[in-house]
Amino acid sequence: MSKYGLSRRSDIGAKFKVSFEFFPPKTDEMEARLWDTVTRLEPLQPNFVSVTYGAGGSTRERTGRTIKRILTETSVQAAAHLTCIGASREEVDAVIQEFAALGIKRYVALRGDPASGVGKTYVPRPDGYQNGADLVAGLKAIADFDISVAAYPEKHPESPDFATDIEMLKRKVDNGATRAITQFFFDNDLYERYVERVRRAGIYIPIVPGIQPVHNFRQVANFASRAGAHVPEWLAERFDGLEDDPQTHALVASAVAAEQVLDLVERGVDDFHFYTMNRSDLVVAICHMIGIRAPASAQGSAAA
Ligand code: FAD
């Protein structure tokens, strides 16, 4: 048994938990693709799925509509991401009431990035929720929602040091968050060290690793540099020269993600959050490898 409470690779097939993140589609075509993805992932019986929310409220209607459809047409629990940046408390509370009327009881509570860009100076609105922790308190004041928050194995780009970063996580937990989902990372040692720091700070909620399958290396590297996530040299090396070879790129991406997840399993992790980019293939493959599979009846209907 490892220090994380789970066992070694021989336990593959034990009960792992997974959650899947989607973004709200902008067009009918994107909606059809998302729905194909949801249909393919639902039989894997995720713990929950979540739908992102544009900082500043740009996706308010689409996020709500997407979750409503998931709640109505599937048996999956769905969480709304919610950001507070650039809005007053009153405006954010109105979104929460609107989402509550749609039946939404789970949230991923976030501050959001400044419109000027990640890492730019953040100036909270005096009449707004000040940060992620403050938003958690606001949600809890409205109802006893299930609340996840963000965590950063490489620390948030705005945090001067890990102590400040983890102090913010602690405030989120003190205010009622019961799960943290991490920013994606590619070096599992960073995650392991971070979890050790968090536990030393007396925080005991699950720190669920956010796994980013590399559907498009250039896009992921670009996003990583904005989010303060390190892209190791070996990763760039693996995708080097595959820009115009999508088939090999997909095979490499599958191998990379599988390696990362299986290594985390070795380290005792039993809960994974996948940034799906509204695609199912890589996620289904990785889940298959850790023993999460659609029941035979669902596989039959997918093939029909
Ligand atoms: P906080 O925890 O409030 O702050 C982050 C760090 O900034 C803190 O650790 C603290 O050190 C520092 N800080 C906070 N307040 C101040 C202050 N007043 N002065 C100085 N420093 C301060 N973004 C979206 O827009 N939509 C989404 O749907 C979305 N989903 C996400 C899901 C996950 C799992 C993750 C990891 C991120 C997601 N993000 C999303 C990105 C997120 O909004 C950004 O990372 C944002 O910059 C920080 O949000 P937070 O809730 O972690 O902020």
Please give the full DSSP string across 10-30, using - where no structure is assigned: GGBTB--EEEEEE---SSHHH
In the predicted model, is pLDDT for residue 5 greater than 60? no
In the predicted model, is pLDDT for residue 158 greater than 80? yes
Q: Average pLDDT, stretch 280-300?
A: 85
Q: Establish whether 237 is a catalytic residue.
A: no
Residue 60 pLDDT: 93
In the predicted model, is pLDDT for residue 210 greater than 60? yes
Q: Average pLDDT, stretch 130-151?
A: 98
Q: Is residue 6 part of a domain?
A: no
Please indicate whether residue 231, judged by its CB atom, sits closer than 6 Å to ligand 1. Answer: no
Q: Is residue 147 part of a domain?
A: yes
Q: Is residue 94 part of a domain?
A: yes
Please indicate whether residue 282, judged by its CB atom, sits closer than 6 Å to ligand 1. Answer: no
**Residue 9: band (very low, low, confident or very high) from pLDDT cuts 50, 70, 90:** very low
In the predicted model, is pLDDT for residue 304 greater than 60? no
In the predicted model, is pLDDT for residue 219 greater than 80? yes
Choosing from 59, 158, 184, 277 the residue with most ligand 1 atoms within 8 A of its CB, the one to mutate for a pocket test is 158
Report how many domains make up the chain: 1
Residue 7 pLDDT: 44
Closest ligand 1 atom number to CA of residue 23: 28
**Residue 287: band (very low, low, confident or very high) from pLDDT cuts 50, 70, 90:** very high
Q: Is residue 5 part of a domain?
A: no
Q: Which of 21-25, 118-122, 289-293 has the highest mean pLDDT?
A: 21-25
Range of the domain at 70: 12-303
Q: How far is CA 59 from the centre of its chain?
A: 17
Which distant-in-sequence residues (6+ apart) come within 8 Å of 111 by Cβ? 83, 84, 85, 122, 129, 131, 132, 135
Q: Tell me how far the alpha carbon of residue 76 lies from the centroid of ligand 1, in angstroms.
A: 26
pLDDT, tens digit, 9 for 90 and up, residues 98-135: 999 999 999 999 999 887 766 667 888 999 999 999 99
Q: Is residue 287 part of a domain?
A: yes
Percent of the chain with pLDDT over 70: 91
In the predicted model, is pLDDT for residue 298 greater than 70? no
What are the Cα distances from residue 297, in Å, to 37, 45, 287, 303? 18, 13, 18, 10
- CATH code: domain of residue 52: 3.20.20.220
Q: Average pLDDT, stretch 84-91?
A: 96
Q: Is residue 2 part of a domain?
A: no
